[in-house]
Copies of this chain bind each other. A is one copy, B any other.
Amino acid sequence: MDAEQFRAAAHAAIDEIIQYFDTLPSKRVLPDIEPGYLRPLLPSSAPNSPEPWSSIQPDIASKIQPGLTHWQHPNFMAFFPATVTYPSILGELYSAAFTAPAFNWLCSPACTELEIVVLDWLAQALALPECFLSTGPTRGGGVIQGSASESVTTVLVAARERNVRRRAEEEGLVEGTLEWEDRIMELRPRLVALGSDQAHSGTAKGARIAGTRFRSIPTRLEEQFELTGPALRKVLEECERDGLEPFYLTTSMGTTNTCAVDRWAEIKAVLQEKESWRGIWVHIDAAYAGAALVAEEFQHMTPEWAEGIDSFNLNMHKWLLVNFDASCLFVRNHLDLTSALDITPSYLRNPYSETGTVTDYRNWQIPLGRRFRALKIWFVMRAYGLSGMKAHIRQGLTLGEVFSGLVGRRKDLFEIVTRPAFGLTVLRVREDVCMRALKRKINGTTSSSSDEKKKKEEEEEEEEDGTAASSALTKQIYELINARGEIYLTSSVVAGRFVIRVVSANTNAQEKYVRRAFEILVNITEEVLGVERTEEEWKGKGKEEEELRN
């Protein structure tokens, strides 16, 4: 493909991409294919001779697009959003052209230097404490990782090494000796990483990769699934009792299940209670909700992180307009990363690198090479401006309020399980409604269910079966919604309850789609429940639907 062929191909690709976005609302949000759909459509091996772009490009529309899940679709309300924007695509375009496995500064200085600058921009935009800026007082700074799970694994390994190195140094051992290695190997097996039972599974996986233990800390529905001080203390004490040494804790700003926000004031106070707890690495996983910090109304949270927090992670590729991957990890002291991940022996380290005059990002991450991802962040922050980023976040928050408001007005059907937050609503069908519906179904299908004994048994089971009934029907409703395919939602199980999660915050989200999603939710719920209404109720419902449409 020569330059002119590329120009023509790229123009055609740009046209197709624009058309893709323009026609998204008319597509099905989830693909309508079966596993293994693609292989029969493709040759069984690569062609021997070159193919022109004119024979490659049509396959994208005919073979690839039918197999895509459309994360930018306005009816995509599943997981968390994964946004892409035009300036971000331009960033990827230049990044590909300027390709370099930029593992150290000299491999492409602009790649490293722009990353340092835009992550400082981002830290400022989020009102993060100074300790997370490259210009701050603690050798802090940001680094772009691929995903929040990669960020967690990276800091978990750094925390593990910080713990065992400190201990070995205190004991007077010398790095590079067999005694040092043996002692490190003795210390590691007692280490235990912690996270609440709501923390993303990336922490448990990170601990597996790092070869440490992992314990989860229970949270409670009554406390909105927030990690509390007392719950943390209890697990810390249990670990000590079992001879284990906690070294790392994932806290969350916006958990995956319900967008819970952990209680840092309590957590930090507990960690001060014992000398051995003070060295525990505290990470904030703000993968999704951290984006909200660009809006001033959330920035009251961040001063609390100026002390006692070792790292913070936000995925711009979720809610903040940059396409995957752009997981922005900030650390209080980058030497914690480089001490763990730089395998250059200590006698080769130099103050020039370590004071930050030159940053070799390979020592801030697990892989060696890295892409030029700062470009897309730079383009997005400039093309949107802080004002545009705030407007996007507030739009998502507003849509969340609209949806949770609608749900709240149907207390006859739904229960909002946790306080709606960051655009996310977590709901289920009311237990009593489900119990009545199940009873109706049993009455309708089982002729013998009218006998007295059976009736009494049913009443006894009623209370304890409320949760099970709600879970069963909520699940049935959820599966039917996704099977019908107009909207795409995800579910979860919290405190034994099956719940539906709804969040609509990509750049194509609009109120009309959120209202339509609610209509679908209500209709399918009533269908599953087998609701029979009085004439009066139907009138009321009609009125309500009319309101919804306005």
Mark A residues whose CB is within 8 Å of B.
Answer: 1-3, 5-7, 9-11, 13-15, 17-18, 20-22, 30-31, 33, 35-39, 42, 45-51, 53, 55-56, 60, 63-69, 71-72, 79, 82-90, 92-101, 105-111, 113-114, 116-118, 120-122, 124-125, 146-150, 153, 157, 160-161, 181, 185-186, 188-190, 201-202, 204-205, 208-213, 317, 323-325, 340-341, 343, 357-358, 366-369, 371, 375, 379, 381-388
Contact = CB atoms under 8 A, between A and B. Distances in A.
16 contacts: A6-B86, A10-B89, A17-B97, A45-B121, A46-B124, A46-B381, A50-B387, A50-B388, A51-B382, A51-B383, A64-B94, A69-B106, A69-B108, A149-B366, A181-B213, A185-B213
Nearest to A379: B56
A383 B50 contact: yes
Contacts of A33: 109
Contact of A110 (B6, B68, B122, B375): B68
Contacts of A66: 110
Nearest to A123: B45
Could you say which of A36, A49, A64, A379 has the most chain B C-beta atoms within 10 Å of its C-beta? A64
Q: Which 6 A-B pairs have the closest CB atoms?
A: A67-B110, A211-B211, A185-B189, A38-B113, A6-B86, A92-B96
Given A49-B387, A99-B84, A358-B35, A110 B64 contact: yes
B146 A38 contact: no
Contact of A56 (B106, B181, B357, B383): B383
Contacts of A181: 213
B101 A317 contact: yes
In this complex, the member of A88, A358, A383 whose beta carbon has the largest number of chain B beta carbons within 10 angstroms is A383
A108 B37 contact: no
Contacts of A98: 20, 64, 68
A150 B60 CA distance: 29
A19 to B, nearest CB: 9
Nearest to A49: B385
Contacts of A190: 185
Given A113-B67, A153-B366, A46 B382 contact: yes
B7 A18 contact: yes
A13 B101 CA distance: 22
A83 B96 CA distance: 10
Most buried by B among A1, A51, A341, A375: A1
Contact of A85 (B1, B83, B146, B204): B1
Nearest to A376: B96
Contacts of A94: 13, 17, 60, 64
Contacts of A212: 211
Given A35-B109, A47-B382, A20 B211 contact: no
Contacts of A67: 108-111, 113-114
Given A49-B385, A97-B84, A11 B9 contact: no
Nearest to A19: B3
